Amino acid sequence: MSYPVTIHLDNADLVDPHLWIEYAGSDLPDDLPSTGKDDFGPVFAISVRRPDFTVRVKQGPGAAGPWENPTLTRIVRQHHLPSPPRPAELWCRADKPFVYPSAPRRPEAISAAEYLARFPVPDPVYLPSTDGPSGLGATVLTGGGTLFGLYHPNAGRVFVAGTFNDWQHPGRDDTDPDRFRELALYRGYFGVPNLWLGVAPDARPGHEYKFVVEGARNRRTPGRCAGGRPTPSPAGWARTTGRTTVSSSTPAPSPGPTAASPPPTGPTSSCTSSACTASPRATRTWARPRGPSPA
């Protein structure tokens, strides 16, 4: 039985990219050329012999290469693919060992620092800037609206949902895309794209919110973090482990880490899923999770 899969790759540096597909317990790999190109990069419309396989990228046919770094080997499992005959569609970034269920958002041309410089904040609100401007969490802005920020280096897309938009985000049964609040990706810590930022003009102090992440898939099953334990979730969507309340004030800044220190990701979850994330450093009060879970 064959499984139709379309794989999108954003590596435009290869003149003749090939996928090297391997199957556990088999000495017969598939060496497959690209079948086209789109705005994301080379496209591979292929059929795989098993629903579990690994993917590596190289230049040209055969084993001569050059090959991408072995650490970028991507693992695809059966639960990543829809049931046949519906074809699967996956996206791969050239610099990450993951597969994504939809096209990952491209980084913005400007940095997080340049973006954050646009927003004045009222006294005594403090715009988070540990190890450089970050905007993590929720920051009330002068003139109304709230800036939201999340550190996540491997997410494909990030949304913020809350009482201000009736918790609307992709993955719900009753989605209303007009009310989605998607964050954009900016270069942040260490000069690489890892900060997700955006403004919800209708969010104000007292509203609850959560970040909803479309995460990468690889060695572990994507899941929804609930009490720190992963549970199945369609399409790789995962919510944060709790909800926070937008506050009208922020504590005074604390000394930031050195450049070699990891950026602050805040309270961490014991969830081991590559799709799950924890909320950033809590500069406002944690609220007990309640209400409907994402579909």
The pLDDT value given to residue 123: 81
Token reading at 163: 């009482």
pLDDT at residue 280 above 70? Answer: no
The pLDDT value given to residue 272: 26
Query: How sure is the predictor about 183, in pLDDT bands with cuts at 50, 70 and 90?
Result: very high
How many CA atoms lie within 13 Å of 103's alpha carbon, on the beta-carbon side?
A: 11
pLDDT at residue 120 above 70? Answer: yes
The pLDDT value given to residue 116: 94
Mean pLDDT, range 181-201, rounded to an integer: 96
The pLDDT value given to residue 81: 78
Token reading at 281: 């450093």
The pLDDT value given to residue 292: 39
pLDDT tens sequence across 127-170? 888 778 899 999 999 888 999 999 999 999 999 999 999 999 98
pTM confidence score: 0.73
The pLDDT value given to residue 86: 74
Contacts of residue 72, Cβ cutoff 8 Å, sequence gap at least 6: 56, 57, 94, 95, 96, 97
Mean pLDDT, range 170-182, rounded to an integer: 90
CA distance 104 to 7: 13
Which residues of the chain does CATH 2.60.40.1110 include? 3-92
Chain mean pLDDT for the chain: 77
CATH code, 3-92 = 2.60.40.1110
The pLDDT value given to residue 133: 86
pLDDT tens sequence across 196-254? 999 999 999 999 999 999 877 654 333 332 222 222 333 344 444 345 666 655 433 33
Higher pLDDT, 283 or 140: 140
CA distance 224 to 232: 6
Distances in Å between the Cα of 132 and the Cα atoms of 69, 117, 188 are 31, 12, 8
Mean pLDDT, range 51-77, rounded to an integer: 93
Contact 81, 234 (CB under 8 A): no
pLDDT at residue 259 above 60? Answer: no
Distances in Å between the Cα of 99 and the Cα atoms of 93, 172, 176, 197, 209 are 8, 22, 26, 23, 28
Q: Percent of the chain having pLDDT more than 90?
A: 54
Query: How sure is the predictor about 23, in pLDDT bands with cuts at 50, 70 and 90?
Result: very high
Q: Percent of the chain having pLDDT more than 70?
A: 72
